[in-house]
Amino acid sequence: MARISTVLRRSSKALKDCNLHKVLQSEIQHELSSHLYQHVQSGSLGDFSLEWDSTRSQDVVLRRKSVSGEEVAVSALLGPAIYRQEGILPREVLMKVCIRKPRLSSLLQFDCGVYNKGDGRSDFDIRKAFYLQVSTSLDPSVYRGPLFSDLDPSLQDALKEYLFAKGVGEYLTNFLLAHLHKKEQDQYVNWLQKLNAMVTDGEDIQQAASATAGVSDI
């Protein structure tokens, strides 16, 4: 009787694994066949080059260096979903822009949010603006400036125009939105496939164990 109970428990576990396997396969097929971002405006990098885009990480890093030696670095990753926003790009992009002039030991850092406006359009808001000495930029006690929302509106607009002039425009924000959403989907499908492979391997082991137990009971 004890052996029969063991076989039944193993069979129940195998059925649960089989059901999970079917659900995972269905989800994988749905993601692969949906072509969710097929018609999304992909934008362009402009004068930026893609410096970092690992399949294992959620972020990307872009860099632009002018003839004068000025460097503009952009790092970005997906932020939370914006539930009030409709469309197929529901999540905003958290973007940092750092600008460094040659022969200076300081830099400007802008923390921004990129969002989809619909109809292939995008825009960004500046949320924080910092002037940092490179040697002390990691010190939390360093004064980094006032809240961006407390600045005079004309100064806020001027700082955004400054970023436009540095190449941070709609082509770039379109690229970041489309690329990071596609990247997240690819990573999700890859995760599903790995989970499915693990469940399938476990199911094979359970079937082999059940078969062995059945033989030993004879």
**Residue 10 or residue 201, greater confidence:** 201
Instruction: Give 53-98 pLDDT, tens digit per residue.
Output: 999 999 999 999 999 999 999 999 999 876 655 556 778 999 999 9
> What residue ranges in the chain does DSSP mark as E strands?
49-52, 60-65, 71-81, 91-100, 106-118, 121-133
1, two tokens = 């009787």
Three-state DSSP class for 66? coil
CB count in 10 Å sphere of residue 35 = 8
Which of 99, 163, 164, 154 lies closest to 132, judged by CA? 99
Residue 79 is predicted with a pLDDT of 92
Using 50, 70 and 90 to split pLDDT, how confident is the model at 111? very high
Weakest mean pLDDT among 17-31, 33-47, 53-67, 161-175: 33-47
- Name the burial class of residue 202, with classes exposed (0-12), middle (13-18) and buried (19+) by CB atoms within 10 angstroms of its CB: middle
CA distance 90 to 117: 10
* 148: helix, strand or coil: helix
pLDDT score of 38 more than 50 = yes
Residue 149, CB-side half-sphere exposure with 13 Å CA sphere: 1
Rounded distance between C-alpha atoms, residue 167 and residue 62, angstroms: 11
Note the pLDDT of residue 202.
55
- Find the mean pLDDT for residues 98-123: 90
Residue 42: which pLDDT band, with cuts at 50, 70 and 90?
Answer: confident
Report which of 130, 184, 169 is spatially closest to residue 48, judged by C-alpha positions.
169
Residue 151: predicted pLDDT: 95
Cβ proximity of 62 and 74 under 8 Å: yes
Q: How far apart are CA 186 and CA 170, in angstroms?
A: 24
**Cβ pair 135, 105 in contact under 8 A:** yes
Identify the pLDDT of residue 4. 36
Q: What does the pLDDT read at residue 113? A: 96
Q: How many CB atoms lie within 10 A of CB 93?
A: 24
Does the pLDDT value for residue 12 go beyond 70? no
Return d(Cα 32, Cα 51) in angstroms, integer: 28
